[in-house]
Structure 1
Amino acid sequence: MPISAEDLLSIVRLYWRSDHEFDGKLERSPELERFHDAWEQALKKIDQWRVLMRELRVVFPHLHIGHATATCDASFKCTVYTEREPVSSNQQEDEPLSHYWGVVGCLSILAPVYTVYGLQYDFKGKELIAARVFFEPLPPEMQALAEVIARKIEAMFGAEALPREIAESRIPLIVERKEPPETTLFHALFTSEPENIPI
């Protein structure tokens, strides 16, 4: 039976608070304690996540595969991305314009769900000038990558894709720097900063 927004909200309430009561205190909140415990359990699967990334390297030998997991987020993350590509421009620029794009696979450590989304980084010379996040439907060039990543996560971890309409459900919780009314289930289950991937 598919997991519902209500089920997921009851799960994430165990790990994220709706207030700032513990801000600035040495004492950890019960939610933060549970979050750290969840990561301790999840890290037992890190070798399996590395196997996933090795398999992606075999499937996509011409692309870069990166491990983007950060334990402040609630998910394992991997990236599959291109080399920087020049961007054509009619303007005379001192610095050349370029971009690269990729797909990020996220497996939640809090619930048996995953998501896949796209990213594009734009540069002027070496300076990052824009980061764009793409959710369903992904641009055509990202779709095949996303499908392969999704199939591999499903096969290896038995997780189900979190539908976008559920992922966008607003929740009354604080997740890192996201606060209501901006906070969504996506933030609580995966990451509060989807554009913040090591590049």
Structure 2
Amino acid sequence: MIALVRNYYRADRDFDLGLENSPEWERFQTRWEQELEKMDQWDAFVDEAQAALPRFMVSNITSTCDASFRCAVYSETETVPLVRRPVSRWVVVGCVSILAPVYAVYGLQFSYQGGRRSTDQLFLEALPPEMQAPAEVVARKLEATFGVTALPHELARTPIPLIVEFKEPPHTTLFDALFISIPDSVP
């Protein structure tokens, strides 16, 4: 897997001056151009996940700066007095890598202070009980729809000597390269 992601990320910042794109960045952009042809299939998947999880809100949160299609399953909403609009206390995120036939499902717990949401905890492995059922539905549907397999947690934590967005070694992992380097970036 490390050899694979080396095709899309660099170990140096030689191209940071903005004068030209690195060959790795060009390959990444070409890959996204190919994968965007699957956006209708991804949108259909999100609709199917919503139908399977009617008590939750399911949204497409894909961004082409990341290396994956992503969807978010938001917990049942409630109104927080200072915010005065519906808010979610947690979210389950399903990701399918555009670089390898793997997926990941993770969770985030939120709190609200002064009307602003903050991430309390990121769950890349064992999810709290309230997130487990929606996560299992998303995982089963990802496997069935896209023929992908879960990236084992031990492999996801593997450090890589590459720069992924704003993360640099020794903090960069295969998870960052295959899915998203800022997993708590969820609208």
TM range (shorter): over 0.9
What is the TM-score of this pair, normalised by structure 2? 0.93
User: What SS does the aligned partner of 1:128 have?
Assistant: strand
Query: Which aligned segments of 4 or more residues in structure 1 are displaced greater than 3 angstroms?
Result: 83-87
- The corresponding residue for 1:91 is none
SS at match of 1:141: helix
Question: Which of 60, 63, 68 is residue 70 of structure 1 equivalent to?
Answer: 63
Q: Which residue of 1 aligns with 2:26?
A: 33
Bigger radius of gyration among the two: 1
CA distance in 2, matches of 1:131, 1:193: 14
1:16-74 deviations in whole A, cap 9, x for unaligned?
Answer: 00000000132110000000001011101111111111101111122111111011100
- Conserved 8 A contact 1:114-1:159: yes
Cα distance in 2 for residues equivalent to 1:129 and 1:13 = 33
TM-score norm. by structure 1 comes to 0.87
Q: Does 1:104 align with 2:101?
A: no
Alignment gaps of 5+ in structure 1: 1-7, 88-93
Distance across 1 between alignment mates of 2:49 and 2:23: 37
Indicate yes or no: 2:152 matched with 1:163.
Answer: yes
1:180 aligns to what? 169
May I ask how many residue pairs the two structures share in their alignment? 184
Indicate the percent of aligned positions where both proteins have the same amino acid: 54
Q: 1:191 matched to which residue of 2?
A: 180
Q: Out of 2, 24, 41, which is 1:9 matched to?
A: 2
Q: Report if aligned partners of 2:72, 2:94 keep a CA contact under 8 Å in 1.
A: yes
Partner of 2:143: 154
Q: Which residue of 2 aligns with 1:90?
A: none
How far is the alpha carbon of 1:132 from its aligned partner?
Answer: 2.1
Contact 2:7–2:27 (8 Å) recurs in 1: yes
Residues 50/95 of structure 1: CA separation in 2 closer, same or farther (3 Å cut)? closer
AA partner of residue 146 (structure 2): F
Stretch moving more, 125-134 or 71-80: 125-134
Offset of 1:99 from its aligned partner? Answer: 5.6
Which residue number corresponds to residue 120 of structure 1?
A: 109
Corresponding residue number in structure 2 for 1:82: 75
Q: Any conservation in 2 of the 1:131–1:195 contact (CA below 8 Å)?
A: no
Is 1:145 matched up with 2:134?
Answer: yes
Give the letter aligned to residue 174 of structure 2.
L
Q: Residues of 1 paired with 2:48 and 2:29: CA distance?
A: 28
- Please say if residues 68 and 180 of structure 2, whose CA atoms lie closer than 8 Å, have aligned partners that are also in contact: yes
1:71-129 per-residue CA deviation (whole Å, 9 max, x = no partner) reads: 11000000001244479xxxxxx958x86111100000000000000111211242123
| Residue 21 of structure 1: aligned partner | 14
